């Protein structure tokens, strides 16, 4: 009897989780820095000093951006780290980051100032990526969740500032941003894949069959 109750409870938990996922239509903000890009802003003002500060671009009206965040390394040094400070009004979201040119992506948050930001850090040069060059983080802490709009994405029409850190050389596989190379930062909505829903619903179905089997 206890085993049957456990099966039933597990079935309800998985089924309710699937329903919640199906009902969640708000996309998760995704921050991707990949090469190649398209030249729109260069780092020629950087003389190799680290960090070098720059303005990456402005977020679109919808809270995302896929243009005007292209960066070209016009120096004779290698960018081993790019850090972006993205104004954010809603931290009640899951944030995701990816890169194909650095070894590591990391996400942190600063909700303490007058202009709260999501900080995405792409860094590391080497022959192997950490977690596939990806990261994810929930913006809310245990006791606080800064959210003034409920809008998905980032703060519309706000500037994104950046910092670049340089070294003299780099390994070949994940080389950072090489001299003369272009890279692009994209801020896009990420909708969970349907396969996640199918997996949860299938698991709930298996539990239901098992429940009937036990009763029989």
- Write the pLDDT tens digit of every residue in 29-47: 999 999 988 766 788 788 7
Give the position of tokens 């003034």. Answer: 148
| Maximum distance among all Cα pairs of the chain, rounded to whole angstroms | 76
CB 54 within 8 A of CB 65: no
Helix (H) or strand (E) holding 185: strand 182-190
pLDDT greater than 70 at residue 114: yes
pTM: 0.76
Angle between helices 194-215 and 2-23 (to 10 degrees): 160
Q: Which residues contact 4 (CB under 8 A, 6 or more apart)?
A: 211, 214, 215
Q: Which residues contact 94 (CB under 8 A, 6 or more apart)?
A: 28, 136, 137, 138, 139
CB 83 within 8 A of CB 110: no
User: Which comes out higher in pLDDT, residue 14 or 94?
Assistant: 94
Three state DSSP letters for 89-148:
CECCCEEEEEECCCCEEEEEEECCCCCCEEEEEEECCECCCCHHHEEEEECCCCCCCCEC
Q: Domain locations in the chain?
A: 1-24+192-216, 27-191
Q: What pLDDT score does 7 carry?
A: 46
Q: Which of 77, 84, 33 has the alpha carbon at shortest distance from 55?
A: 84
What's the pLDDT band for 103 if we cut at 50, 70, 90? very high
Cα distance between residue 57 and residue 157, in whole Å: 10
End-to-end CA distance of the chain: 12
Q: Which of 52, 105, 101 has the alpha carbon at shortest distance from 75?
A: 52
Q: Which tokens is 188 given?
A: 């896009």
pLDDT greater than 90 at residue 1: no
pLDDT per residue over 178-209, tens digit each? 888 889 999 998 755 544 444 444 444 544 44
- Mean pLDDT is lowest, of 25-29, 74-78, 113-117, for 25-29
Phi, psi of 122, deg, nearest 5: -105, 120
């Amino acid at each position: 009897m206890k085993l049957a109750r456990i099966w039933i409870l597990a079935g309800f938990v998985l089924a309710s989780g699937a329903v919640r996922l199906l009902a969640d239509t708000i996309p998760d903000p995704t921050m991707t820095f990949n090469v190649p890009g398209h030249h729109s802003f260069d780092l020629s003002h950087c003389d190799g000093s680290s960090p070098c500060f720059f303005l990456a671009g402005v977020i679109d009206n919808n809270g995302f951006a896929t243009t005007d965040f292209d960066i070209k390394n016009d120096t004779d040094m290698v960018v081993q780290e790019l850090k972006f400070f993205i104004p954010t009004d809603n931290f009640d979201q899951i944030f995701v980051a990816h890169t194909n040119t650095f070894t590591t992506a990391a996400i942190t948050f600063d909700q303490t100032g007058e202009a709260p930001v999501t900080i995405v850090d792409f860094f590391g040069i080497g022959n192997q990526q950490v977690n596939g060059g990806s990261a994810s983080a929930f913006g809310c802490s245990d006791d606080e969740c800064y959210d003034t709009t409920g809008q998905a994405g980032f703060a519309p029409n706000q500037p994104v500032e950046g910092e670049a850190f340089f070294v003299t050389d780099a390994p070949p596989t994940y080389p950072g941003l090489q001299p003369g190379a272009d890279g692009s930062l994209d801020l896009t909505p990420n909708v969970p894949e349907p396969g996640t829903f199918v997996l949860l619903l299938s698991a709930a179905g298996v539990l239901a069959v098992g429940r009937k089997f036990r009763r029989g």
